[in-house]
């Protein structure tokens, strides 16, 4: 599938909701890789604008990623206790916790508007995170000539992806930054490393396997290809590119000693995700309370972060990063692509 797309280099810039921009994705695609947009946290009009912009900036393929989580199981008591646990942080910002929380964005599983928008714009690739949509949606996207990829963190998820007729499996290891793509966040997690997961999936499936998690340079990409991966998907490596939407505080944290400490935690959004350890994470963990369900818990973080940022406090927002964060380099995306290719020995 990746050969059909005409990629000149087997590098996928990871879809990163809130961080990847049309300019970043188009620059990576123009450099011969596959640029991606994450629209999981965008409204349909916002997503349409981003995809249209990226497709106007490059004639090369781009990937659009959607979130396929099960709708939140709301529990008023858990949400109330969670807001109570966060009350001291809201108080620091001179505010009360909100009276209640909302499911900040819908799941693609039931989002007909998002499906119609994708069928209308027809990006070359659509990828799924947190699960798979139903057969009818998959068939509609395929009939429109769109190639499909989906994240797997274990063998059962990869098997489901293969059975659903998806074109490539993104093998997401425990090292990865951002949300872990596990289909069921409450299931036991084997926490496979990228290298082990890639080897298992290459031996088990005929589909192309894309290695994701902890890959930060050309040497890492080369190693993933040696393990049998068809391509490598890099997220954290692209956050410091000037074309990303990361704000100054995020960039500062990622270039500080703090980047060496990341944690997979559900306290930010309600689902396991790897972030640089911030004061929010330390406070939330110390509270001992279970977070509200995904993405309801994220609503609390977004509100708190907006209040805190207005006061110059950047310790409460999402600072997703993989274990390789200390290896991130600040350089324009085109230069990073050239550097990665040169390190791989492919340029």
Ligand X SMILES: Cc1cc2nc3c(=O)[nH]c(=O)nc-3n(C[C@H](O)[C@H](O)[C@H](O)COP(=O)(O)O)c2cc1C
Q: How far is 24 from 238, CA to CA, in rounded Å?
A: 9
Nearest distance from residue 255's CB to ligand X, in Å?
15
The yes or no reply on residue 234 touching ligand X (CB under 6 A) is: yes
The yes or no reply on residue 42 touching ligand X (CB under 6 A) is: no
The yes or no reply on residue 60 touching ligand X (CB under 6 A) is: no
Q: Which of 14, 114, 240, 253 binds ligand X (CB under 6 A)?
A: 14
The count of chain residues that interact with ligand X, using the rule CB under 6 A, is 30
Q: One symbol per residue from 296 to 325: x for binding ligand X (CB under 6 A), - otherwise; what is it?
A: ------------------------xxx-x-
Residue matched to tokens 């809201």:
90
The answer to whether the CB of 104 falls within 8 A of the CB of 299 is yes
Q: Could you give the angle at which helices 333-344 and 218-226 cross, rounded to 10 degrees?
A: 50
Residue nearest to ligand X (CB): 235
Task: Considering the complex, state which of residue 47 and residue 300 has its C-beta at the smaller distance from ligand X.
Answer: 47
Q: How far is 107 from 127, CA to CA, in rounded Å?
A: 14
Q: One symbol per residue from 64 to 93: x for binding ligand X (CB under 6 A), - otherwise; what is it?
A: -x----------------------------
CA angle at residue 151 from 149 to 152, to 5 degrees? 125
Nearest distance from residue 250's CB to ligand X, in Å?
9
DSSP helix/strand/coil, 289? coil
Nearest distance from residue 156's CB to ligand X, in Å?
18
Residue list 133-162, contact with ligand X (CB under 6 A): 151
Q: Residue 25, exposed/middle/buried by CB under 10 A (0-12, 13-18, 19+)?
A: buried
Nearest distance from residue 204's CB to ligand X, in Å?
20
DSSP for 38-103, please give it.
E-TTS-HHHHHHHHHHHHHH-SS-EEEEEE-PPPP---HHHHHHHHHHHHHHHHHTT-PPPS----
Nearest distance from residue 42's CB to ligand X, in Å?
10
Q: Which of 153, 195, 236, 269 binds ligand X (CB under 6 A)?
A: 236
Task: Considering the complex, state which of residue 170 and residue 304 has its C-beta at the smaller distance from ligand X.
Answer: 170
The answer to whether the CB of 105 falls within 8 A of the CB of 295 is yes
DSSP element (H, E) containing 197: helix 194-204
Q: Which of 2, 16, 224, 267 binds ligand X (CB under 6 A)?
A: 16
DSSP symbol at 110 = G
Residues that bind ligand X (CB under 6 A): 14-17, 19, 38, 40, 65, 129, 151, 172, 175-179, 212-215, 233-237, 239, 320-322, 324
């Amino acid at each position: 599938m990746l050969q059909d797309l005409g990629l000149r280099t087997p590098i996928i810039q990871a879809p990163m909701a809130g961080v990847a921009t049309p300019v970043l994705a188009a620059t990576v695609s123009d450099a011969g890789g596959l640029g991606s947009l994450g629209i999981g946290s965008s409204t349909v009009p916002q997503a349409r604008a981003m995809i249209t912009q990226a497709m106007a900036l490059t004639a090369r393929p781009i990937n659009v990623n959607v979130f396929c989580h099960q709708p939140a199981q709301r529990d008023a008591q858990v949400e109330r206790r969670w807001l109570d646990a966060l009350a001291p942080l809201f108080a620091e910002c001179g505010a009360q916790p909100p009276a209640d929380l909302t499911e900040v964005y819908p799941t693609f599983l039931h989002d007909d508007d998002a499906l119609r928008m994708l069928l209308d714009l027809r990006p070359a690739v659509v990828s799924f995170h947190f699960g798979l949509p139903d057969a009818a949606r998959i068939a509609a996207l395929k009939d429109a000539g769109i190639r499909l990829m989906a994240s797997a963190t274990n063998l059962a998820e990869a098997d489901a992806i293969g059975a659903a007729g998806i074109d490539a499996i993104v093998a997401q290891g425990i090292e990865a930054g951002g949300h872990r793509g596990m289909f069921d966040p409450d299931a036991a997690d084997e926490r496979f490393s990228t290298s082990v997961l890639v080897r298992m999936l290459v031996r088990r499936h005929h589909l192309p396997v894309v290695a994701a998690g902890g890959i930060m340079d050309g040497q890492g990409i080369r190693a993933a290809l040696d393990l049998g991966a068809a391509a490598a998907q890099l997220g954290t490596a692209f956050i410091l590119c000037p074309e990303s939407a990361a704000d100054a505080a995020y960039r500062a944290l990622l270039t500080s000693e703090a980047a060496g400490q990341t944690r997979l935690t559900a306290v930010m959004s309600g689902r396991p995700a790897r972030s640089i350890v911030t004061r929010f994470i330390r406070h939330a963990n110390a509270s001992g309370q279970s977070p509200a369900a995904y993405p309801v818990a994220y609503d609390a973080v977004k509100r708190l972060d907006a209040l805190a940022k207005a006061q110059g406090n950047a310790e409460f927002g999402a600072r997703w990063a993989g274990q390789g964060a200390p290896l991130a380099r600040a350089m324009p995306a085109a230069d990073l692509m050239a550097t990665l290719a040169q390190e791989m020995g492919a340029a």
